[in-house]
Amino acid sequence: MIKTMTVSELQKRVQESTKPFLLDVREPHELDICKLAFDEHIPLGDLPDDYEKLPKDAEIVVYCRSGARSLRACEFLEDHGYGNLTNLSGGVLAWANDIDPTMQKY
C-alpha cells in the first residue's frame, strides 16, 4: 500500500535517526532549479532500468515537483516488489510553499 506524507512530516522525519530513504524522480534539469536532499535521483523514465539499486528493506519516500510523477513511481515500485513506499504530497512545490519560501518554484 502506498502511503502519503506531508512536507511538514518529512521535515520532522529527516531529523530522526531512522530517516527514510529519499528518491527524487524529477528530470536532471529540474535539479538545477531547486532540490531537496536526496539519497538517490532516478528520473521517472529511467526507473524501469535503474530501480534495482534501491533498497528493498527501507522506507522509501518518493518525490517530484508536485506529487504526480512520484505517485506513478510508487506504483511501479510496488508492482516490482517494494512494499514500504510513501509519496510526498505536493512535492517540491509544497516544500517551497510550506517549509522554505526562498526555494525557487517552477
What is the set of active-site residues? 64
Could you tell me if 50 and 71 are in contact, meaning their C-beta atoms sit under 8 angstroms apart? no
Helix or strand (DSSP H, E) at 91: helix 91-98
What residue ranges in 7-64 does DSSP mark as E strands? 21-24, 40-41, 60-63
Q: How many CA atoms lie within 13 A of 12 on its CB side?
A: 4
Burial class (CB in 10 A: 0-12, 13-18, 19+), 31: middle
